[in-house]
């Protein structure tokens, strides 16, 4: 049963909706709001409605990716989020959508995930991780919530791959969205952790522009080779308007 909106909102928060699958999310402009990468990652996941599925969403934020999948995947979701305020938003977003029977939130560093979830127990692991490595020249957002979400301040690609692999059963599926400029590193790190890349999709902001996102599906202990690069997605037309496929993902209509 969906909870009353007013009872779940705190100061400096709003409720946004992904109309295509009727999900409402509690967001705050000062600390966290989902973006298109979360919608695209959820769309990239293959449907599987088995009731016994165990799904883990690492770096879960306000549970956007997981909630977007509530009709596409069966089974139980575990949302793992380090930042306490954002994990609390995730819990309330789950309640807002009446999904507390299928979702739980762990306010936990993904480095400690095995203290709460057994190894080799997940069928699917999702992650929309921080994209940017931290260097001396890094320009980090002064907002600590956003800095942690975008920069590898509290975790990094190697940790994400290690924990994804550790959680997955043999032949379990891992899904990741990341930056194409790190693709060589990503593919190497995944394979070092027994995650065999099987499907890639490049996302382009506009026609004629370089890709700015890549979606990756990997299988734990999958057979070597067989990588498919599926057709690309171009987000906006030349005028900067969403193209039909993206409008359908966001609004449920072309």
109-145 confidence digits (pLDDT tens): 999 999 999 999 999 999 999 775 655 565 555 655 4
* Domain housing 230: 36-86+100-251
| CATH assignment of the domain containing 149 | 3.40.50.150
For residue 213, is it within any domain? yes
18 found inside a domain: no
Q: What's the total number of domains in the chain?
A: 1
70 within a domain of the structure (yes/no): yes
> Over the stretch 187-200, which tens digit does the pLDDT of each residue have?
999 999 999 999 99
Check residue 46 and give its pLDDT. 98
Q: Tell me whether residue 12 is in a domain.
A: no
- Residue 11: what pLDDT? 84
Tokens 């029977």 found at: 101
Instruction: Please check whether residue 9 lies inside any domain of the structure.
Output: no
Q: What is the 3-state secondary structure (H, E, C) of the chain?
A: CCCCHHHHCCCCCEEEEECCCCEEEEEECCCECCCHHHHHHHHHCCCECCCCCEEEEECCCCCHHHHHCCCCECCEEEEEECCHHHHHHHHHHHHHCCCCCCEEEEECCHHHHHHCCCCCCEEEEEECCCCECCCCCCCCCCCHHHHHHHECCCCCHHHHHHHHHHHEEEEEEEEEEECHHHHHHHHHHHHHCCEEEEEEEEEECCCCCCCCEEEEEEEECCCCCCCEECCCEECECCCCCECHHHHHHHHCCC
Q: What is the pTM of this model?
A: 0.90
Query: Is 6 domain-assigned?
Result: no
Residue 222: CB atoms within 10 Å: 18
Residue 24 lies in a domain: no
Residue 19 forms part of a structural domain: no
> How confident is the model at residue 10, as a pLDDT?
86
Using CA atoms, how far apart are residues 50 and 218, in angstroms rounded to an integer? 20
Which of 233, 190, 193 lies closest to 211 in space, CA to CA?
Answer: 233
Chain-centre distance for alpha carbon 120: 20
Quote the distance between the C-alpha of residue 211 and its chain's center: 19
Amino acid 220: pLDDT: 98
Tens digits of residue pLDDT in 56-110: 999 999 999 999 999 999 999 999 999 999 999 999 999 999 999 999 999 999 9
Dihedral sign for Cα 26, 29, 32, 35, please. Answer: positive
pLDDT (tens digit, 9 = 90+) per residue, 11-36?
Answer: 889 999 998 888 999 998 887 778 89
Rounded average pLDDT over 164-174: 98
Structure-token match 């956007």, residue found: 64
Angle between helices 157-167 and 183-192 (to 10 degrees): 40
**Interval 202-247: pLDDT, tens:** 999 999 999 999 999 999 999 999 999 999 999 999 999 999 999 9
Nearest to 27 by CA among 66, 77, 64: 64
> Phi and psi of 115, rounded to 5°?
-75, -15
| Residue 254 vs residue 107, higher pLDDT | 107
Structure tokens that stand for 19 in this block: 């109309």
Q: Per-residue confidence at 151, pLDDT binned at 50, 70, 90?
A: very low
Instruction: Give pLDDT, residue 143.
Output: 52
């Amino acid at each position: 049963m969906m909870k009353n909106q007013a009872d779940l909102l705190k100061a400096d928060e709003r409720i946004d909706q992904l109309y295509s699958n009727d999900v409402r999310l509690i967001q705050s402009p000062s600390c966290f709001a989902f973006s298109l990468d979360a919608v695209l990652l959820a769309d990239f996941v293959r449907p599987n409605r088995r009731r016994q599925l165990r799904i883990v969403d690492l770096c879960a934020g306000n549970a956007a990716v997981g909630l977007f999948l509530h009709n596409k995947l069966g089974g139980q979701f575990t949302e793992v989020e380090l930042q306490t305020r954002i994990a609390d938003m995730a819990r309330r977003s789950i309640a807002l959508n009446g999904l507390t029977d299928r979702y739980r939130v762990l306010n936990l560093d993904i480095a400690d995930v095995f203290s709460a979830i057994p190894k080799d127990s997940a069928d699917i692991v999702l992650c929309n991780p921080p994209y940017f490595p931290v260097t001396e020249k890094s320009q980090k957002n002064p907002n600590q919530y956003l800095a942690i979400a975008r920069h590898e301040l509290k975790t990094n690609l190697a940790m994400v791959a290690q924990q994804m692999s550790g959680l997955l059963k043999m032949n379990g599926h891992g899904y990741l969205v990341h930056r194409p400029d790190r693709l060589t590193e990503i593919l190497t790190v995944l394979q070092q952790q027994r995650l065999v890349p099987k499907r890639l999709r490049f996302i382009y902001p506009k026609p004629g522009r370089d890709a700015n996102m890549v979606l990756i599906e990997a299988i734990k202990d999958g057979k070597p080779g067989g990588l498919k690069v599926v057709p690309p997605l171009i987000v906006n037309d030349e005028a900067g308007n969403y193209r039909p496929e993206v409008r359908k993902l966001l609004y449920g209509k072309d």
